Chain A
Amino acid sequence: MTKPKGFVIRRKAEPAGGEEGKRVPSQSSEPGSPPVPAPEPAPPPANYFDAAFLDNLAHQLIAPLQCIENHCQNILDNRVPPDRVNVRLREVVGHARVTISLAQRMRFLHQLVTNPDEHYQVEQVPFHKIVSQWIDGFNNYQPALKAKGINVDIHHDEMNGLSDVLATPLAVQQVIMNLYDNAAKYARDKCRIDVSARERGSFVEVTFRHPGVPIAEEYRERIFDRGFRSPAVEKIRAPGTGVGLWVCRRLMRAMKGDIVCVPQGLHGETEFRLSWQIAK
């Protein structure tokens, strides 16, 4: 079962070919005649993002709910030793909390999409709590990252000592999830993601960096446009819709911070810098 991840609105992708199943082949009308290219996939319908939103929500809620059902069914069937029932019930509570948190984030994102100019209520957040979210985000994406041999260095010792910032915890969580989601798709296999932070003027700035699909200079701003996908990403047929970074920027700016992509030369590293205002 797939664990819940950061919400990213998706569009349909072309089905991948397989050993048993085959991609739709190019068709040739006559022997020797040039192949007729497969038809272009139809554009997503106008309400696709709404539909994908609901489908994604359903998917993300099912996994923890099924865990809850399985634990409860085990307890009801007397499959859990009496001395372990409390432990399992605590796990059930944990799954329920995850489910509630997911539902809250979905509602939050709904607000984001329907009221794009709204500014969110920010609160003073100790920076170590944001560091914890980076660690939680990594744990959440660990299976996907592990599958690509990707590891993460979070410089938590230095980060934990930084000033409190103005933020909205749900928005922070969403931004972090989306960045890990991107890294799981676009980071180079067997690389390391580096997460560090420093204070810069009246902001705390987090750097999220990894080697991966290079982002050309002319696209460093456009990648934050809704629906934009760089040619390099399209070329490798990476999944995605070009919405995740748009969501990140919307959320960061709604918290009166920002996210930018900065050039990294030699190794084609992708580097995002996220800034949160320091709480006075």
Chain B
Amino acid sequence: MTRSVKTFRFAAVSAVKHAYVPEAVARHPRFDIVVVTDDADSPSWVHERNEKFAEQQGVPYVMGVEKAIEAFTPEVAVISSEAERHCDLGVRAANAGLHIVVDKPLSPSLDECNRLLDAVKNNNVKSLVWNRNFLPAVLQAKQVVESGELGDLVAAHCDFYFAKDAGPPKGTSLPAPINWLERQQDAHSDGSDGGVGIRALGELEIEGLYPLAYLRMLTNAPIRRVFARTATHFHQANVDNEVDDLATVTLEMDRGITGSLCIGRIGAASHPEIGEIKLHLLGTKGGIVISEPRPEVGFYYKGQSKHDYNNYRVANDNDYLLGDDFANAIDNNADTILDVEGGRDICAVVQAAIRSGRSNQAEEVTTKST
């Protein structure tokens, strides 16, 4: 039996982070990886990781993004570089006419997000910012909201705590401040290098996109103003690099919807699983409390590694559905579940929250036109 639908050739444009995004796209039947590429002047550790990933995927690694695009004529670029390079790579891919998939966060720089948004629009290409909106429990929340059972949504809250460590705990006496990039490189082996890059990123910047994408999808209401408290409470790397590992954000949205985000990388000891991740949605007729990891299956056995999670998520089609969503957007000139514009808006919320954490004042969220 042959597949009748078109598949898209994609280039993995940098795969220096834990490569779950290009791996997920490569697993999808509508996408074929044809090359891994990155800028030739990247440091050696970047090339090493890219080469390793290319070898795993059985495709060439080409130093020089434009050179790879010209030689392999991909239709899609899947970008999983350091966050600070996401947008620049995305702009160049979009200008070459490629549709783009970008790992989260879109960028720590709102100007860069705006530049990429312009490039995507000007080149009329599709975009997808990697997210978790297709997790089964999140889809269940969406279904309940859309059913009208809750009435009009008036409040939406997300608690998003990752029970992970990030190097030495706060207060650890070290001979020198922790270098952010080196710490992230060390964390690559266990997949906790979500903030990989030269620029240090707080938890709001690294993971904030996930919960804010939930709330964006569920409320369909832009966030206009935020008030935030941010802190470094857990990890010495965050202290040394002056970025948050715990934050609370009050969200004021269109249609008078109020919400909140509590987010943190709160240490592996704080929860037996990946962390307590929840949605609390309240409407004029009722509310719903959603545990994001469900459905899951628990495993406990002799000799179990303490580094393993005891609960495994099951029936999780998030990656597959993201691929479907992106392919559908290209096929039918449709919107994706979270495009660059959405990623840009979330970046604006995160930046406003960081400003608020410093000013102790409510901060307006910067819109594209302003």
Decide if A and B are genuine partners.
Answer: no
Q: Residues of A with Cβ closer than 8 Å to B?
A: none
Q: Residues of B with Cβ closer than 8 Å to A?
A: none
